[in-house]
Chain A
Amino acid sequence: GQQVMQIPQYQHVQEGEDFTTYCNSSTTLSNIQWYKQRPGGHPVFLIQLVKSGEVKKQKRLTFQFGEAKKNSSLHITATQTTDVGTYFCAGKASGSRLTFGEGTQLTVNP
């Protein structure tokens, strides 16, 4: 079945440093979504990417979808303490269900 793998599992950064999490699928995806879960909270949708090579930005967050539509990344520039949480990718192949990656837990030291 479809598998979505996410690395790293944990990332500790100093405030102001950049952060990147990577997502890889075993199959070609029709779209990929990104979610953020704050500590003690629930996953909240950030963005969806659909097109090959697509790049979207939300303030300090940059999301990319690979040319082959099998990988994606989330990059945060100059992290802040408000960025703390777990970031999940979720990929969907045609005819399949949405499958979540394992998540990357980000901690930011002030």
Chain B
Amino acid sequence: DADVTQTPRNRITKTGKRIMLECSQTKGHDRMYWYRQDPGLGLRLIYYSFDVKDINKGEISDGYSVSRQAQAKFSLSLESAIPNQTALYFCATSLGGNTEAFFGQGTRLTVV
């Protein structure tokens, strides 16, 4: 079983709909991240959390929100999806700020 699990793996939604992407981890890490991947743009940080009571904006947080329900769970919401949010989304965890990141399998989101 994967240490970092994302659901769903693929999703097609309509413009204006609210959608939630979920991430859970069994690594016991405090730090969790949401990234967006677009061709040629690498991995851009949307939000990150260092513990259950800590939420921080990344470089592209507009149009997104997150919830850290527990140490093991970090969900990403698009309140009103738009087509330019079509992308591959990755959740990641790390033990500390200078340690490797472990990525989930990714969620491919298409907004039509």
Contacts and interface: CB of A to CB of B under 8 A. Distances in A.
A100 B43 contact: yes
A9 B102 CA distance: 23
Nearest to B104: A42
Interface in B29-48: 35, 40-45, 48
A88 B101 CA distance: 12
A109 to B, nearest CB: 21
Q: Which residue, B43, B48, B98, has most C-beta atoms of chain A within 10 A?
A: B43
Contact of B90 (A42, A90, A92, A101): A42
Nearest to B45: A97
B28 interface: no
Interface in A37-89: 41-45, 48, 88
Contacts of B58: 97
Give the interface residue-count category, chain A: 20 to 34
Interface in A1-58: 1, 6, 9, 30-31, 33, 35, 41-45, 48
B98 A1 contact: no
Contact of B40 (A9, A31, A98, A99): A9
Interface of B: 35, 40-45, 48, 58-59, 90, 97-106
Which 8 A-B pairs give the minimum distances between C-beta atoms? A45-B100, A102-B42, A100-B43, A42-B103, A100-B42, A43-B103, A103-B42, A42-B106
